[in-house]
Structure 1
Amino acid sequence: MVETMNQGPEKDTASDNSSHASAVGGTTIAKPPQSDRKPSGTRSNTLRRWIPNQPGAWAMALMPPLAGTLMGGVSWRNLLLLLAWVLCYCTEFTTARWLTSRMSKRFLPPVAAYAAVTAVFGLALLVTTPGLLRWVPLYMVLAALTFLAAWRRVERSWWNNLVSIIAACTLCLIAYSLGSGPQSQATHSPDVYFGCPPNPAVNCFSEGLFPAQAFPPVGLVATLIFAYTEFGSVLYVKSLVRERKHLWCTVASVVWNLMLTIGAALVLPEVGFWPLFAALILVIRAAALPAIARRHRIPIKQVGMVESIASLVVFLVTIGTAGPITSTLQGVGLFL
């Protein structure tokens, strides 16, 4: 299980150059001599090789599986899944950096350490929950695409953003299916084996490769909400950073979030105001901040702060309303 979330909120390439030169009163200040700069072997630089340092990326990677864990009911299985996912994210981060550096030896120690620990917890998860093997092919493909993007140094490309979203949001569905709620509702199979009880449809293959129990409706709805809003987050951040000179990206961001607002308004009578409230926050920030940025450049940290708040709102509203939204959809013939 590997993904690339190191773009979110992504750093502006122009702002990266500000550490080398800045303009004050029209005069460019050159970067200091090598002797005045911090040596590359400082503790700070060492920590950066080991610990992913993008809070927005952490949020995008962890909120979907955490929401699935909380909604499905905390169990030792989804807690182990969450731990394995955190280790996978650290493995991905360090491996991508290692590949981007063309396999520089100084980036290898964290790769080896994280990969070893991830393998231990990942194998423990698969042994105790064999049904998760059904998801391994998907994550192998996503891992290959992630590392290809790192090798080609296009980690912030559109297609790699989609890889990141699929990897993180699918974990919401998986974590929900392993929760104490779905597990307690399952029946025992007469031919159980290690790892199958109490839900053979999820924990093994006695009822097929992809049984209905592996796609619980509430978990699936929450997954789709996270996937939709996280792609909207990508559009929004790019409209302020990498695509800020292209009006089409801002328009696409506003339209994408406006569609979410319309959907929230349609379920307002059955679900309540909170989904509409969250959607309004997203569409306002998608329209207002790019307009402000055309006159005054917004620092990337402020972009990240706004998006972190918006992501937290989506996280809380999804946990609270995914169930009622699912019931509403089932009422019109969906997710039967």
Structure 2
Amino acid sequence: MKRYIPNQHGAWAMLAVPYILGVAAAGARPIHALMFVCWLLAYLFSFPVLQWVRTGRKERYRGPALLYGGLLLPAGAALLLLEPRLIYYGLALLPLLAVNGIYARMNRERTVVNDLTAIVQFSSVVFPVYYLGGGDDWDLASTLFVLCVLYFTGTVYYVKTLIREKGNPVFYAGSVLYHLLLGAAALWYGEPLLLLLSGFLLARSALIPRIGLTVKQSGILEIGVSALVAVLTIQAVL
């Protein structure tokens, strides 16, 4: 099942949170269900493809790629028949996907640049989701996009202090400093709930690496944190 179910646990939050924010901002419509199916299948398809590129083991990843690609093709075609303009969003993602492919080929998927590229991809889904809901306040959609990018960027640094850079004082200091700057930005923005949220994220970045949670415990915690981010963002911005 490891070939079929991505092991990048943080990606599930990045898959869901921007989508939820886009739906909440514009209002849910039936087409959002089909869009989410396509969005999920696109992620599930990209995972074995990138692993195939990284490892060259086509016999291991060909099956999952064919399965998810075969499901994505008719679902995507149906979505484009209903909303042909979404093709422009797909085309806009291609350069970012190319960056992911390059880093996968070099076996450097965990680099910060590759992580940030993925964050922009995942966060950008707020735009087509908002569009499908009939939204026309693009300043609002852009605000939601920026908030997602800022939150998930902080998560990249924070998670590295728990796993790959555990015990690294430079990375730890960088993570805390980033979240401190995030708090300063929230203070400037002037929204109390965002300030409260940034304070919570700052405390998390400072305290959790010192507690010594396991990877599984940290993952469970992040599910709750992502849900909190979505709820407070909806309350603060919408």
Q: Give me the TM-score of the superposition, normalised by structure 1.
A: 0.66
**1: distance between equivalents of 2:58 and 2:87?**
33
Note if contact 1:66-1:82 (Cα within 8 Å) is conserved in structure 2.
no
Note if contact 1:243-1:249 (Cα within 8 Å) is conserved in structure 2.
yes
Q: Which has the higher contact order (CA 8 A, sep 6+)?
A: 2
Q: Which residue pairs with 1:220 in the alignment?
A: 142
**2: distance between equivalents of 1:81 and 1:216?**
19
Distance change >3 Å, CA 240–CA 175, structure 1 → 2: same
Note if contact 2:193-2:232 (Cα within 8 Å) is conserved in structure 1.
yes
Helix, strand or coil at the partner of 1:49? coil
Does 1:128 pair with 2:85?
Answer: no
Give 1:284-299 correspondences, 5 Å limit.
284-290=203-209, 292=210, 297-299=212-214
List runs of 5+ in structure 1 lacking aligned partners. 1-46, 183-212, 324-336
Q: Which residue pairs with 2:217 in the alignment?
A: 302
Note if contact 1:233-1:307 (Cα within 8 Å) is conserved in structure 2.
no
Deviation at 1:91, TM superposition (A): 0.3
Match of 1:100 among 54, 58, 69: 54
Match of 2:120 among 130, 145, 166: 166
**2: distance between equivalents of 1:122 and 1:107?**
21
Does 1:116 pair with 2:38?
Answer: no
Note if contact 2:186-2:194 (Cα within 8 Å) is conserved in structure 1.
yes
Note if contact 1:239-1:250 (Cα within 8 Å) is conserved in structure 2.
yes
Match of 1:244 among 162, 166, 178: 166
**2: distance between equivalents of 1:262 and 1:145?**
31
List runs of 5+ in structure 2 lacking aligned partners. none
Note if contact 2:20-2:230 (Cα within 8 Å) is conserved in structure 1.
no
Deviations for 1:124-146, whole angstroms, at most 9, x for unmatched residues?
22232122222233211122222
Q: Which residue pairs with 1:72 in the alignment?
A: 26
**2: distance between equivalents of 1:243 and 1:48?**
25
Deviations for 1:65-120, whole angstroms, at most 9, x for unmatched residues?
12212221111333322211000110011222222331331321110111121122
Identity of aligned residues (%): 27
Note if contact 1:99-1:151 (Cα within 8 Å) is conserved in structure 2.
yes
**2: distance between equivalents of 1:55 and 1:106?**
21
Q: Which residue pairs with 1:235 in the alignment?
A: 157
RMSD: 2.0
Note if contact 2:179-2:198 (Cα within 8 Å) is conserved in structure 1.
yes
Q: Which residue pairs with 2:131 in the alignment?
A: 177
**1: distance between equivalents of 2:75 and 2:102?**
25
Note if contact 2:157-2:175 (Cα within 8 Å) is conserved in structure 1.
yes
Match of 2:4 among 36, 50, 54: 50
Q: Give me the TM-score of the superposition, normalised by structure 2.
A: 0.91
Name the larger-Rg structure.
1
**2: distance between equivalents of 1:49 and 1:247?**
35
Q: Which residue pairs with 1:83 in the alignment?
A: 37
**2: distance between equivalents of 1:169 and 1:106?**
30
Q: Which residue pairs with 2:198 in the alignment?
A: 279
Does 1:153 pair with 2:153?
Answer: no
The residue type equivalent to 1:287 in the other structure is: A
**2: distance between equivalents of 1:141 and 1:97?**
18
Richer in helix (by share): 2
Match of 1:319 among 229, 234, 238: 234
Aligned residues: 238
